[in-house]
């Protein structure tokens, strides 16, 4: 299936471009924690721009990675942020244990220590209130970044289509096989599911090789919890596969989906034309209506 069948969100455009990269650069730089910028005395209503990632927290709140920083959204739609005052563009965001791992680009007021033009891998130990540069500072931009159930990190950077994995919360990374993926999800048995413009592919050998997944819908966003994978298809449907069962439609989106989140209990969170939406069976609840861009 050609890449042109994928919806053209800003996030996905970037992922498609990164998936086509062929250069191999592995610059490993470390640094100290960056000083948080001073928040303004009074803040205007939030402007997310594009939303790139949603992480449901155990408390029921959502961490939302956006074009203008990281925000926390309560069940009633109350927005807090940008957390720590950071205005970076979070293209990739994952939770590994108690740490948040992110990548993207700096904003106008982002501390220089975090890197430019790319953040590489940055990490927060305090739920997004402060960040420190870890590796690939200045050189890499991970649009594809996720964590497995064992907190292992998986990512694809901007300089190579190689899948990289980290077992130490992003300090060091090892290259696996190459995959032109726009998103990844990992289940408890270690199976890696990759969404590519040519269709779904899976790996059962720790990412060394990938094979085509038969009878799978064309998906462009993926999340997993336990042995269940949820994805958003180019047909506008939200699809689910539990264990060895086949794919089934569990709902639909309104227009193009910018981000997908999945709680440990299986609650699906979408960011589509309506805003931030929770799916529960046939019911959908708008947690936060779509906000204007910057």
261: left (phi over 0), alpha (psi -120 to 50) or beta: beta
Select the highest-mean-pLDDT range: 21-25, 47-51, 187-191: 187-191
The average confidence (pLDDT) of the chain is: 88
What's the Cα-to-Cα distance from 254 to each of 67, 168, 273, 274, rounded to whole Å?
A: 21, 38, 6, 7
Does 117 sit behind a cis peptide bond, omega within 30 degrees of 0 on the bond before it?
Answer: yes
Using CA atoms in the order 79, 85, 90, 93, what is the torsion angle rounded to 10 degrees?
A: -70
The CB density around residue 57, as the number of other CB atoms within 10 Å, is 13
Local structure of 3: helix, strand or coil: helix
The residue among 276, 275, 258 whose CA lies nearest residue 267 is: 276
User: Between 39 and 104, where is the model more confident?
Assistant: 104
Average pLDDT over residues 28-44: 44
pLDDT (0 to 100) of residue 46:
72
Q: Which two tokens stand for residue 288?
A: 């936060």
- Decide if pLDDT at 248 tops 50: yes
Q: Which two tokens stand for residue 60?
A: 């029921």
Average pLDDT over residues 204-218: 95
Q: What is the C-alpha to C-alpha distance for residues 67 and 50, in angstroms, rounded to an integer?
A: 5
- Decide if pLDDT at 186 tops 70: yes
pLDDT (0 to 100) of residue 110:
98
* Residues above pLDDT 90, as percent of the chain: 78
Average pLDDT over residues 163-179: 98
Domains of the chain are: 3-21+50-289 (2.120.10.80)
- Decide if pLDDT at 106 tops 70: yes
Main-chain dihedrals φ then ψ at residue 287, nearest 5 degrees: -75, -45
Q: Which two tokens stand for residue 166?
A: 């980290």
pLDDT (0 to 100) of residue 281:
75
Instruction: Give alpha helix (H) positions in the chain.
Output: 10-19
């Amino acid at each position: 299936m050609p890449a042109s069948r994928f919806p053209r969100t800003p996030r996905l455009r970037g992922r498609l471009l990164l998936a086509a990269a062929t250069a191999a650069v592995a610059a490993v730089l470390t640094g100290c924690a960056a000083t948080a910028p001073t928040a303004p005395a009074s803040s205007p209503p939030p402007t997310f721009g594009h939303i790139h990632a949603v992480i449901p927290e155990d408390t029921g709140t959502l961490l939302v990675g956006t074009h203008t920083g990281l925000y926390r959204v309560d069940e009633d739609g109350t927005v807090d942020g940008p957390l720590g005052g950071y205005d970076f563009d979070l293209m990739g965001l994952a939770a590994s244990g108690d740490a948040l791992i992110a990548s993207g680009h700096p904003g106008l007021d982002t501390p220089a220590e975090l890197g430019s033009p790319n953040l590489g891998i940055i990490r927060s130990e305090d739920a997004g209130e402060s960040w420190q540069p870890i590796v690939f500072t200045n050189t890499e931009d991970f649009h594809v970044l996720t964590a497995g159930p064992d907190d292992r990190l998986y990512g694809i950077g901007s300089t190579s289509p190689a899948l990289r994995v980290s077992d130490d919360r992003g300090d060091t990374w090892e290259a696996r096989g190459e995959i032109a993926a726009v998103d990844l999800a990992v289940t408890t048995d270690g199976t890696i599911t990759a969404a590519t413009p040519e269709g779904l592919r899976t790996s059962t050998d720790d990412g060394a090789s990938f094979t085509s997944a038969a009878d799978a819908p064309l998906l462009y966003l993926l999340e997993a919890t336990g042995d269940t994978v949820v994805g958003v298809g180019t047909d506008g449907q939200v699809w689910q596969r539990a264990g060895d069962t086949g794919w089934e439609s569990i709902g639909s989106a309104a227009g193009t989906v910018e981000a997908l989140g999945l709680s440990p209990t299986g609650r699906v969170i979408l960011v589509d034309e309506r805003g931030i939406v929770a799916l529960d069976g046939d019911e959908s609840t708008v947690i936060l209506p779509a906000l204007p861009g910057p």
